[in-house]
Amino acid sequence: MIASIIGSGVAGLSSSIHLAKKGYSVHVFEKNATYGGKLSQIQLENYRFDAGPSLFTMPQYVTEMLDQEHLDKFEFEKLEILCNYFFTDGTTFNAPSNKESFLSLASDTFQEPENQIRKFLKKSEKTYEITAPVFLQSSLHKLKTYLSKTGIYGILNLWRIDMFRTMNSAISYTFKNKNLIQIFNRYATYNGSDPFRAPATLNVIPHLEYHYGAFLPKEGMQSIAKILYEQALSLGVTFHFNSEVRSIYKSDNQLTHIELPNKKLFKSDIFIANCDAKLVYKKLLRTHVPQKIKKAENSSSALIFYWGIKKEFPELDVHNIFFTEDYKQEFNSIFQAKNCQNDPTIYINITSKKIKVDAPEGCENWFVMINTPCNEGQDWDRFRAEAKEKIISKLSKTLGCDIASLIEVEEYLDPVRIEQFTGSNKGSLYGSSSNHRMSAFFRQANFSSIYKNLYFCGGSVHPGGGIPLCLLSAKILSDIIPNANSRK
């Protein structure tokens, strides 16, 4: 039995491993020259940058797929500091990964009762306990999910997951300090959403960091894709690079072939799309996009500058956030006005803090990102120029030096390039946003209700974007697809 996977992002790589273990002859078709999708890297002279995702949580979703040989090769370390935060009032906060240390330091820094912060994280943990088996680890579109023991427990406890308040409402009700509220509100950006509109259920995300921690692979984030690729090869998976799928052929309710460059056809028994679901319908199947997917609001995108900085900054760590003064206005700019905000929140990732070969001695590799609207036809050249000026001005003021004079090399990634390189609809990083309490049900299911041999994985489908959820989408898919010998 032959399985064709369209796209070799982290979910496609993971799916190839699962299906190879199920006895399929797996072929992965990738339009780019290499694997990884967003999880790639950039080399600029003597500086190396991870191009896309920069935060690694829940490493068990990677390691559980590896045999001992590949597990021994995949090295990563737990970070002692989750993130360094810089606020407009001059406050700084280095968030420890140790939960007890975080509780104590946060209480002292923000003058909030330690027990109140503990209570918030405990609720986050409980929300995870209720939602994970149903909303993250299972298909939302299969009846058996709701008839299972965990499904029944989840349904009976829905009232406890805070669906009817926004993230910000729940956080602001719990805390008084503006800076601590900003820290917890920022977790909405982990799936490209607006904390002033997204349901408070998303306050589950802090639990994943403060309970499990944040990690960094010793060869950079791209090594996640690399080890999955190597594991897939060892299982006999065949990869076809520079092989953009142009169309999918169908007969009644079955898919039959994919069309490759030069009109070449490849026949398969099952088809897995690790690409944006809207792209699959519009471009590959040439049919209408299902209404519930079509109307789902796109997630935010990003503008990223890759800067080689000829200086070291001891006050910075691997992950750093420079907050805006008015967080609500920033999200309004992203989701309503769809323009460049005057005072953007800036994220800087510096892997050379831990991986010394990523930058020359005495220098640092800065991955500098702001959240942006998805591509709606804005003038991105102008947007990028204005944003760069604002970013440099803000960082120079906060760090007390002229950042522009320290930039040795530069590259950028914007929504247009994200869409071009990865096929993400309008450059949205996470497919659809979670700005509605029913957003989880607006996502494409992990299987097609029209074509019985078409399946979906990746950030635009259930359960969502980000490395852990993409890996879970592949696992859900593999649980749905029967073993190869049982399909014959």
Cβ neighbour number for residue 282 with a 10 Å cutoff: 15
Q: Are residues 80 and 55 in the same domain?
A: yes
Dist. CA 330–CA 444, nearest whole Å: 28
Q: What is the DSSP string of 105-144?
A: HHHHHHT--HHHHHHHHHHHHHHHHHHIIIIISS-TT-HH
> Distance from CA of residue 221 to its chain's centroid?
12
Q: Are residues 92 and 168 in the same domain?
A: no
Burial (CB count <10 Å: 0-12, 13-18, 19+), residue 378: middle
Q: Are residues 418 and 316 in the same domain?
A: yes
Q: Are residues 112 and 199 in the same domain?
A: yes
Q: Which helix (H) or strand (E) holds 232?
A: helix 222-234
Q: pTM value?
A: 0.95
CATH number at residue 195: 1.10.405
Q: Which amino acid is at 391?
A: I
For residue 228, tell me if it sits in a domain. no
Last residue of a domain, one of 163, 188, 210: 210
Q: Considering only 7-11, 65-69, 255-259, 437-441, which range has the smallest mean pLDDT?
A: 437-441
For residue 235, tell me if it sits in a domain. no
Q: Are residues 49 and 26 in the same domain?
A: no
Q: Considering only 95-104, 174-183, 263-272, 477-486, which range has the smallest mean pLDDT?
A: 477-486
Last residue of a domain, one of 189, 210, 231: 210
Instruction: Provide the token pair at 368.
Output: 């500098």
- pLDDT of 202 over the 80 cut: yes
- pLDDT of 488 over the 60 cut: no
Q: Are residues 317 and 399 in the same domain?
A: yes
Task: Give the pLDDT confidence score for residue 140 in this predicted structure.
Answer: 79
- Cβ proximity of 62 and 53 under 8 Å: no
For residue 236, tell me if it sits in a domain. no
Tell me the per-residue pLDDT of 370-421, one tens digit each, with 9 for 90 and over: 999 999 999 999 999 999 999 999 999 999 999 999 999 999 999 999 999 8
Q: Are residues 206 and 157 in the same domain?
A: yes
Last residue of a domain, one of 210, 231, 255: 210
CATH number at residue 26: 3.50.50.60
* Residue 365 structural domain: 41-97+213-220+300-429
For residue 230, tell me if it sits in a domain. no
Shortest CA distance to 415 belongs to which of 370, 456, 472? Answer: 370
Instruction: Provide the token pair at 134.
Output: 């149903």
Q: Are residues 149 and 172 in the same domain?
A: yes
Q: Are residues 193 and 80 in the same domain?
A: no
Tell me the per-residue pLDDT of 281-339, one tens digit each, with 9 for 90 and over: 999 999 988 888 888 899 999 999 999 999 999 999 999 999 999 999 999 999 999 99
pLDDT band at 159 (very low <50, low <70, confident <90, very high): confident
For residue 227, tell me if it sits in a domain. no
* Mean pLDDT for the chain overall: 94
Tell me the per-residue pLDDT of 328-380, one tens digit each, with 9 for 90 and over: 999 999 999 999 888 999 999 999 999 999 999 999 999 999 999 999 999 99
Domain count, the chain: 3
For residue 7, tell me if it sits in a domain. yes
Task: Give the pLDDT confidence score for residue 480 in this predicted structure.
Answer: 94
Phi, psi of 468 (to 5 degrees): -60, -45
Rounded to 10°, the helix 149-156/114-131 angle is: 130
Task: Give the pLDDT confidence score for residue 487 in this predicted structure.
Answer: 61
Q: Are residues 289 and 203 in the same domain?
A: no
Residue-wise over 241-271: b if at least 16 C-beta within 10 A, else e? eebebeebebeeeebebbbbeeeeebebbbb
Q: Are residues 320 and 422 in the same domain?
A: yes
Dist. CA 39–CA 54, nearest whole Å: 9
Task: Give the pLDDT confidence score for residue 399 in this predicted structure.
Answer: 98
Which of the 8 DSSP states describes residue 282?
A: I
Q: Is 468 left (phi over 0), alpha (psi -120 to 50) or beta?
A: alpha
Tell me the per-residue pLDDT of 23-81, one tens digit each, with 9 for 90 and over: 999 999 999 999 999 999 999 999 999 998 999 999 999 999 999 999 999 999 999 99
Dist. CA 269–CA 487, nearest whole Å: 9
Q: Are residues 394 and 462 in the same domain?
A: no
Shortest CA distance to 65 belongs to which of 459, 455, 470, 460? Answer: 470
Task: Give the pLDDT confidence score for residue 34 in this predicted structure.
Answer: 95
For residue 180, tell me if it sits in a domain. yes
For residue 233, tell me if it sits in a domain. no
> What sign results for the dihedral spanned by CA atoms 75, 184, 435, 325?
negative
